[in-house]
Chains A and B, each alone.
Chain A
Amino acid sequence: MDFLPALIPVLPLLAFAVIITNGRRLGWSACLVAVGASLTSAVLAALVYSRVLLSHETLAWSFEWVRWGETALRMGVRIDGLGALMLFMVTVVGTLIEIYAIGYMAGDKTFSRFFAFVSLFMAGMLGLVVADNLLLLFVSWEIMGLCSYFLIGFYFHRPSAAAAGIKAFITTRIGDVGLLIGMILLWWTAGTLRFDELLLAVPALAGLGDAHVDLMLTAAALLIFVGTIGKSAQFPLHVWLPDAMEGPTPVSALIHAATMVAAGVFLVARSFILFAQFPAALTVVAWVGGFTALFAALIALTQNDIKRVLAYSTLSQLGYMVMALGLGAYAAGMFHLITHAFFKALLFMGAGAVIHGFHHVQDMRRMGGLWGKMPWTAWTFLVATLAISGIPPLSGFWSKDEILLGAFHESPVLWVAGTFTAFLTAFYMFRLFFMTFTGRQRDGEIHAHESPAVMILPLVVLAVGAALLGIPGSPWMGLWVQHSLDVPAYALAHHHHSNLVMGLSIAVAVAGIALAWLMYAPRPTIQPARVARAMGRLYTLSLNKFHIDEIYAALIINPTRALARGSFRFDLGLIDGAVNGMGWLQRALASLKGLFDKWVVDGIVNLLATIVQALSAVFGLIQTGRVHNYLLLASLGALVIACLTWWNMG
């Protein structure tokens, strides 16, 4: 019975195995396997949740996996209040998304493959939630990364999709390596990777007052946070998330709401003991989160692609969660994670329904007036928009308010930034809503239609969740959800309720909606174009995503190119005569330039790619194909090795 929770991730894993090996035979029924597995998981998760809730016990089950000299590594599952709530959220939202996908993906040639990878994705996320140690968490984490690669690049005939898949994978991989090193650092310092043992070991080590140990643990915490920065798309590794919408919309919903990005936040919560002991790490977390929240909201203001606005809003909301954790408002951050999962899944699926009904057009400037044509979609979308904007009593209000409350007490600067972000959020979300659903359709060519029932049903369920889920976490019910998380003693206590904070956050939300109404209502009072002109450079900055990509280019790529060219000349003179050399030089420069044009479009990954490709082009020249050059270089190498070693020894 104790291993029951271990079944929760295993069921989708089995579904993956069954579908991937029998894809052709299963055909359409592949979706039944996938949905069946995750539905069963959801039932199990509900059982586990009720048990954990009722008894306040932690379910744990583990076995010895490997032994390495003295140290043994155990694998197993451990579910406390936090894990149980996450399990519940992931399975419910995941199942709804899968049901929705049955309608959305209908008729796709790769229908069964899609459900296979979605199942594996779910398995990864659930494995991560139930893991009782960092290693198993990391394994699940990486499985999810792989799936994201395949799912984001799912429409492989679109080159942009394939590129987005690679970008997501490589960018998050940077974070993964940080996490791996941080994890091993922690293992070596604290002697364990199991969460329950870390709860004892870390405070004991921190209590020693040994500067070296403190340094190691702080480094471990920061490196683990690098993993979060990658997975939860915090600045500066945020670049993959907006591109990740290249995947099918159910995948976007899955990535943005229930799984991938939530994993990063969950990681910080899981290893919170480490952060709690070292305020320096915590401060970094808070500021990275706060900055990301504001920064992404500013970009979201001006985007015209419906999914892109939602993508930046995800970034912004993730920033809130990370900021909350950094401020010690552990329960508030996790509560926001749960509510956000519901309303963001709803938003993406609503957007998907719009796109589906609007013949795969994503530009909001061509939409409008869909209210009459897709009533179900519009109503549910309105609920989610109100929720994310922070209008009481919908779920988003309660969780966001609590984060702002924490910020109010801990860091006034972040509180102001957070409140301003809340205003922006309300504004850009209603801008989206008005542009899409109200007024008249601006592009008359397209005949929009409502989606089939299999897509509407999940929307309705999620809308109910997005509307009501906040209530159990509200002060009316004594912050019941937050208490059910078994907030550990080391996380900071709840803050006192403040009418000022609450009143102000309602006020800015209403103000944001009002401004959006004035600018984007059917008969706008303020012309958006005039605002754009008035804002001048600020507007273009936001539209161009703050030129982050161009800044990368100017600061790093150009100097690297110059350096590469310089070292290239040096190499050349070394190896062979100038005659062959000129040919190489031209060829290599041409290829460098080609690479430059091709890759310096945007993002840190393209930047990294460009650097590596340039280096590759330069160093590849060593391989001239002539064996006498090889012999010369090898002999030279040996001589250099000998001299350097001798010199080093004095």
Chain B
Amino acid sequence: MSYAEYLAAIGPEIALTIAALLVMSIDALWPRSVRAIPWIGIAGLLVTLAMLPMFRAERVAFSGLLVIDPLAVLFKVIALISVILVALLSISHRPLRGFHEGEYHTLLLFFAVGLMFLVGAAHLLMIYLALEMVSLAAYLLTGHLKLDPRSSEAALKYYLFGALCSGLFLYGASILFGLTGTLHLDGIAEAVRASGLSAALLAALVLMLIGLGFKIAMVPFHLWAPDAYEGAPTPITALLSVASKAGGFAVLLRVLAVAFPLEALDWQPMLWVLCVVTMSLGNVIAVRQGNIKRLLAYSSIAQAGYVLVGVVLMRQTPAGLPSAMIYLIAYLFMNIGAFAVVIVVSNALGSDKIEDYRGLARRAPLASASLAVFLVSLTGIPPLAGFIGKFYLFAATIDAHAYWLAVIMGVNSVVAAFYYFRVVRAMYLDAGKSEEPIGTARPLQVAVGVTLLGTFVIGVWPQPFLLFAAALPLGF
């Protein structure tokens, strides 16, 4: 492979790495330029995003370690958009102001680089490496507010849980290597097909599932999530709940779809149960939360459960994978949007308690209306993005004759309405203590605007997103 080919394969990643290094050196050399740093990072991310269409031709690069296929491109787009939005949120998040912003944005960009490698990795070594890169950056970002005990505690819990899970993932990967003699996912599939089911294969799958389940906060590997989400700086909470989770889903999809053929190991029943437990537990526990970040943490566990519905059904219906993708895209906009409003409120009130949201509609009408839209969308009510996502997931369950899954999802979406509307009620139907208006910083306005637009457009005219998601062939 020539260097030109290398460049053609990982051009966007290289560009983003350069941006990250640039941010790092500018911070080190000209400490005064700190106001410009986030914008340099965002510019780098935007350039990378703009480069993606030129680098989407399907290919296998670096001796099969990395692939560029529709799945990878799709997830790269999701990852970049969410990191851009998170960078916007970070600019105006009060506790982050002037607190090692250079390092913060450097880590954020490297997180994005890791994510881009992660979604294209088709080789166990590469997967592990990218997974660790993403995780390490995430641990560090979670604990970035080192003077805040909650931030440190969140980082510690996240780190310890993550380190154990990734250690077990590595051990599982080593068993898989022993069984198949190769680290390439497609080679693994061939060998597994030839040798068939064995207890060791199952052990490898379960061990690897621990690592991936941790990334997407799937029950029972979700336990870190509520604490980490609550303690992390709010933009990072958004990052963990969207970008990091999307990366986890990309690997999960690739590992399950490529490396574990169903005829050798039928993982569907197992994932079915996990999916049901994940959505139900997340929704049920969310009902009692009094902190909005924690509420959104449990809600995002439940949302991961919904996405898993598409993953479970991906071999039974051609609608499975695309419906999971659509849901993920919708989730990106509505969830980051919700966190943007949470930041608006916490900047003004210094609180994330739902009781402090009382009467918010009078103090910040636009922010409240936006949050209401995002929550209504998360509930799955038309004509918003969340409804389209749920609609296609329901369609996939019906197509796959998975009626129980449809019913359980239905019950869950009723339960979810409870807690989302508790927040709406606090904002609109409860009287607040103060009437003082709350302002919104410009970058947050942009972020809220973009996410609102996304939430509405997907809801009203989903066609382009459907095409985007339907680019996924079944057996990629």
Contacts and interface: CB of A to CB of B under 8 A. Distances in A.
A324 interface: no
B266 interface: yes
B287 A616 contact: yes
Given A170-B418, A623-B226, A156 B399 contact: no
A188 B398 contact: yes
A6 to B, nearest CB: 15
B202 A646 contact: yes
A43 to B, nearest CB: 27
Given A149-B421, A162-B429, A65 B463 contact: yes
B285 A619 contact: yes
B164 interface: yes
Contacts of A177: 410-411, 413-414
Nearest to A187: B395
Interface stretch (A274-282, A308-316, A353-361, A631-639): A631-639
B288 A616 contact: yes
A649 interface: yes
Nearest to A158: B429
Contacts of A153: 425, 428-429
Interface string B204-246: 0011011000100001110110110000000000000000000
Interface in A155-200: 156-157, 161-162, 165-166, 169-170, 173-174, 177-178, 180-181, 184-185, 187-188
A646 to B, nearest CB: 6
A642 B206 CA distance: 6
A583 interface: no
A457 to B, nearest CB: 32
A641 interface: yes
Nearest to A170: B417
Nearest to A165: B429
Interface stretch (B40-48, B331-339, B376-384, B444-452): B376-384
A132 to B, nearest CB: 16
A149 B428 CA distance: 11
B462 interface: yes
Interface string B383-408: 10001001110110011000000110
A175 to B, nearest CB: 10
B269 A648 contact: yes
A221 interface: no
Interface stretch (B1-9, B90-98, B154-162): B154-162
B202 A630 contact: no
B184 to A, nearest CB: 25
B256 interface: no
Contacts of A637: 219-221
Contacts, number: 165
Nearest to A617: B288
B421 A166 contact: yes
A133 B156 CA distance: 53
B281 interface: yes
B415 A641 contact: no
A375 to B, nearest CB: 38
Contacts of A146: 376, 381
B270 A641 contact: yes
Nearest to B221: A634
Nearest to B214: A634
Interface residues of A, number: 63
B202 A645 contact: yes
A638 B168 contact: yes
B165 interface: yes
Given A156-B430, A645-B206, A142 B394 contact: no
B18 interface: no
Contacts of A156: 428-431
B14 interface: no
A188 to B, nearest CB: 5
Nearest to B366: A21
B284 interface: yes
B284 A619 contact: yes
Contact of B206 (A620, A622, A638): A638
A612 to B, nearest CB: 5
A644 interface: yes
A627 B158 CA distance: 9
B318 interface: yes
A30 to B, nearest CB: 15
A173 B223 contact: no
A620 B161 contact: no
B382 A616 contact: no
A69 interface: yes
Contact of B382 (A142, A173, A608, A627): A142
Contact of A615 (B220, B274, B284): B284
Nearest to B294: A623
Given A180-B410, A185-B398, A612-B284, A630 B381 contact: no
Given A153-B429, A634-B221, 4 more contacts: A174-B414, A177-B411, A633-B223, A642-B203
19 contacts: A65-B461, A67-B463, A162-B430, A165-B425, A165-B429, A166-B421, A180-B391, A181-B398, A181-B406, A184-B406, A616-B288, A623-B223, A627-B156, A627-B160, A630-B157, A631-B160, A637-B221, A641-B206, A645-B269
